[in-house]
Structure 1
Amino acid sequence: MTTRIGRPKQSNKHQDSARGHLITAAKRCFSEQGFDKVSTRKIALSAGVDAAMIRYYFGSKAGLFEAVIEETLAPVIEQFQVDIDPNTTPDPLRLMQTYYRMIANNPMLPKLILPVISQQDNPQAFGIVTGIIDNILKRSEKWIEAFEQQKHINPNLNPAWLRLSFVSLMIFPILAPKYLQQQLGVELKEDCLLSLADHNQTLLEQGLFAFQSASNKKKGEHE
């Protein structure tokens, strides 16, 4: 992804610091103003480094944008990779905890991604984001397959909708409009989101409703 042109005259320690400052500044600038409206000069100015460092580390603004998305989502992708290991039992709670911690540390992520995939104004940015999302969705498919192979899936469920159900349960609270988040008590803070992860895990294991069996229900009606 990265094309190195020339070599800046800084120490390795300074270079590593510059790269980190660029990632941090790019997250803020892209989420506040969008991919198209932010120049590399503005990002570099916000990061306090020379604009040439963007080309050195990332090749272009698009390369920087891709690095921001990939590095932000890296913990979730790594957890998926662990969970699809044939020697490891998939862990929904750990995956949700990893995802929610990532969101708590990067609450700007929805603002960064949603406009790109909903408006599709910039094909380059759209291709970067959808490529990364497709990678995650492919991993999620393998994750569900691992559950099916280990006989952990409720046989009464339609397998075609399993990923949709899990992804909706985990992701909707993060992507919901601010008004709905407020009405539903969702805060993009670690303690709130980890509590939600525990709730989701219980919901997955035990279901939402406690129905009486038909015989018990009939018995109760005659008492």
Structure 2
Amino acid sequence: MWSVMTNKVGRPSQVTNNRDKLLDAARTLFVEKDYAQVSIREIATHAGTDAGLIRYYFGSKEALFATMIHETASPVMAELSKSNSHNQADGPANILQTYYRVMSAHPHFPRLIYKLASLDQSTQINRELTKILTEIMQGSKMMMFDRLQENGQLHDNVDPQCANLSFFSLMVFPFLAPDRVLNNLGIKITPEFLEQLAEQNSQLLSQGLFKKDANNE
């Protein structure tokens, strides 16, 4: 398991923003290229920092990658955990809104997640990269509709497995849709558009899946 390094001592406070620059650079480059094609030097150059700071802040390229995945996904996963613990009908809507809000700042990040989930498992490095994703996005956290069904909040004809897949399709498709499709629809993925889409998709979930009195239970 990759170790995630955070605070270090011995460096002046003026350079602490270099950590965020490195994370942003890593996020951009790992979306554009395969993991093995991205070098420490390239990440540092893209961030406008010294390559030695990667070892200083993270220890290695692998740990930088793990930290970048974890810190980008953690707000969404925290909302998933909260929803599962409370079994509330508004949980999926809250998760959707959180996801859109986080990803509006990193609109290409879902494509990286898709790449990780699709990796060929024949090499050790690919297995390790997939393990990072699995550790963060635990399947048990994502099966929220199973719990909502057990709690009597879904329509009787709703299949929770189909609902789980429909929900995550609503989450990720706006960010995975080819640019040509978005352009043909006249859509630009902006924070304002995502806020509107989150509201509309929340209504879609509520009216299509939940009993009318679910929010009052």
In angstroms, what is the RMSD of aligned CA positions?
2.8
Cα offset, 1:89, TM superposition: 5.6
Contact 1:82 1:88 in 2 (8 A): no
What code does the residue aligned with 2:153 have? H
Counterpart CA distance in 2 for 1:29 and 1:154 is: 44
| Residue in structure 1 matched with residue 198 of structure 2 by the alignment | 197
The one of 120, 137, 140 equivalent to 1:138 is: 140
Counterpart CA distance in 1 for 2:28 and 2:85 is: 35
Contact 2:87 2:147 in 1 (8 A): no
Under a length normalisation based on structure 1, what TM-score does the superposition of the two structures give? 0.77
Residue segments in structure 2 that go unaligned for 5+ positions in a row? 210-217
Contact 2:70 2:136 in 1 (8 A): no
Cα offset, 1:8, TM superposition: 7.7
| Residue in structure 1 matched with residue 30 of structure 2 by the alignment | 30
* 1:84 alignment partner, SS class: helix
Cα offset, 1:15, TM superposition: 5.3
Under a length normalisation based on structure 2, what TM-score does the superposition of the two structures give? 0.79
Counterpart CA distance in 1 for 2:208 and 2:32 is: 39
CA-to-partner distance for each residue in 1:98-137, whole Å, 9 max, x for gaps? 1111111001213433334335386525543454256433
Counterpart CA distance in 1 for 2:127 and 2:101 is: 25
| Residue in structure 1 matched with residue 183 of structure 2 by the alignment | 182
Counterpart CA distance in 2 for 1:172 and 1:3 is: 29
Is the alpha carbon distance of 1:157 and 1:130 closer, same or farther for their aligned partners in structure 2, counting shifts above 3 Å?
A: farther
Q: 1:52-91 maps to which residues of 2 (within 5 A)?
A: 52-86=52-86, 90-91=90-91
Is the alpha carbon distance of 1:185 and 1:93 closer, same or farther for their aligned partners in structure 2, counting shifts above 3 Å?
A: farther
What code does the residue aligned with 1:86 have? H
Is the alpha carbon distance of 1:171 and 1:16 closer, same or farther for their aligned partners in structure 2, counting shifts above 3 Å?
A: same
Counterpart CA distance in 1 for 2:175 and 2:69 is: 16
* 2:188 alignment partner, SS class: coil
Ranked by relative contact order (alpha carbons within 8 Å, sequence separation 6 or more), the top structure is 2
Residue segments in structure 1 that go unaligned for 5+ positions in a row? 209-223
Query: Does residue 114 of structure 1 match 2:114?
Result: yes
Contact 2:79 2:95 in 1 (8 A): yes
| Residue in structure 1 matched with residue 208 of structure 2 by the alignment | 207
Q: Could you say which structure has the larger radius of gyration?
A: 1
* 2:152 alignment partner, SS class: coil
| Residue in structure 1 matched with residue 212 of structure 2 by the alignment | none
CA-to-partner distance for each residue in 1:52-85, whole Å, 9 max, x for gaps? 2212322221211111111111211111122122
| Residue in structure 1 matched with residue 11 of structure 2 by the alignment | 10
Identity of aligned residues (%): 32
Contact 2:88 2:148 in 1 (8 A): no
| Residue in structure 2 matched with residue 213 of structure 1 by the alignment | none
Greater alpha carbon shift after TM alignment, 187-196 vs 199-208: 199-208
Contact 1:3 1:57 in 2 (8 A): no
Cα offset, 1:145, TM superposition: 3.5
